[in-house]
Amino acid sequence: MSAHNILVVIGLLAFASYVAYATDPTQLQDFCVGANDPNNALFVNGLFCKNPMDVKPEDFFSGGLDKPGNTHNNLGFNVSLVSATQLPGLNTLGISLARIDYAPYGLNPPHIHPRATEILTVIEGTLYVGFVTSNLPGGGNKFFAKVLNKGDVFVFPQGLIHFQFNVGKIPAVAIAGLSSQNPGTATIANAVFGAQPPISIDVLSKAFQLDEKVIKYLQSRFWMST
């Protein structure tokens, strides 16, 4: 290959690299509204970085995941999240972890993680898990489900509705890895029927094809925070 062709190839590779990296950073929260006045800028996309000289081993450590979470609630589950908020050393690393405890027949209800793919490993018990695709080109949504036992692994793609249900008579435990330092969680029932201020009854009754009285009843229910 001539020197001229080599330079052309190098130039194309450099341009391709520039195009590949000349994109907006991945968001680490639902939104980050711009502020022209620095005095009013309370948040950044992620967390402020500590001076490397002030960093300590404790910044990369978090304990307590050996302890079961409290599952005494309406759904019978608990999530113990280790994100950059709990473990500052995770900041900018694009990963977080969660321990999920399930009472017998406990449910981690249908929800999404807007900023993360989740990979789940069952530590104890038996879980029925699944996720639903986004709207398919031909219409409809495909549902993928599996019964998991101890040691089994399942992945939930980023942004798709998914759930886990303990189908056993004993408590279950799972560990989840998430591909964001702040994956976020939007529980479908909470978001739709428990939003504040409430979503219009007209909107919900038409969207779900339900009588307005049913919508009012659903909005009056207690929606636990997950």
Q: Tally the C-alpha atoms within 13 A of residue 96's C-alpha that lie toward its C-beta.
A: 27
User: Residues 164, 120: contact at Cβ < 8 Å?
Assistant: yes
4 labeled part of a ligand binding site: no
- 102, with CB counted inside 10 A (0-12, 13-18, 19+), is buried
User: Residues 186, 114: contact at Cβ < 8 Å?
Assistant: yes
- For residue 18, what are the contacts with CB-CB under 8 A and spacing of at least 6? none
Concatenated DSSP letters of 100-128: EEE-TT-EEEEEE-TT--EEEEEEES-EE
Q: How far apart are CA 68 and CA 156, in angstroms?
A: 23
73 labeled part of a ligand binding site: no
Q: Tally the C-alpha atoms within 13 A of residue 210's C-alpha that lie toward its C-beta.
A: 15
108 labeled part of a ligand binding site: yes
CB atoms within 10 A of CB 10: 10
Which residues sit opposite 166 in a β-bridge? 127
Please give the annotated binding residues for oxalate, written as ranges. Answer: 108, 113, 118
Binding-site members for Mn(2+) are: 111, 113, 118, 162
Residue list for the binding site = 108, 111, 113, 118, 162
